[in-house]
Structure 1
């Protein structure tokens, strides 16, 4: 289930990033950052399931940072 969710979120992030690069319209960048953060959260949870706590905690910390940046981007719009 987590692997499927990670694939869906990753495709969403790549699509939004590709759209921004091709059209040079960056209005969806905060959403891309939010989905990237959720992808990192899912990756961290998968690492915890595998028993690799170091990478799991690293992914969780990156998720918190990206979430902070995403919220900051939403507030600046």
Structure 2
């Protein structure tokens, strides 16, 4: 069984995941959803990092591109949400 290495991309993914969970919990508890676009941007960055990790780990271009496209779409929605408000 191969050991999983802890790399810098995994660290970034964990940091962004914790930030998303903190902002989501804060928004739910206080019922203040002004930080939702920031949370979407952080989710977008997290998915981008996941796509890079997937490509680096398996050399699977299809999964990496799929996660990259999802990341860009979420980033577009977040920026559009910021522009509307």
Specify if TM > 0.5: yes
Tell me how far apart the structure 2 counterparts of residues 28 and 17 of structure 1 sit (CA, whole Å): 8
Choose from 12, 16, 25 the match for 2:23: 16
Higher helix share: 1
**Larger Cα Rg: Structure 1 or Structure 2?**
2
CA RMSD of aligned residues (A): 0.7
Superposed displacement of residue 55, structure 1: 1.3
Which residue is 1:27 aligned to? Answer: 34
Counterparts of 1:11 and 1:62, CA distance in 2: 20
In the TM superposition, residue 22 of structure 1 has moved relative to its aligned partner by 1.1
2:74 maps to 1:66: yes
Give the unaligned 5+ runs of structure 2. Answer: 1-7
Q: Which runs of 5+ in 1 are unaligned?
A: none
SS at structure 1 position matched to 2:32: coil
Number of positions where the alignment pairs a residue of Structure 1 with one of Structure 2: 77
CA–CA separation in structure 2 for the residues paired with 1:14 and 1:71: 20
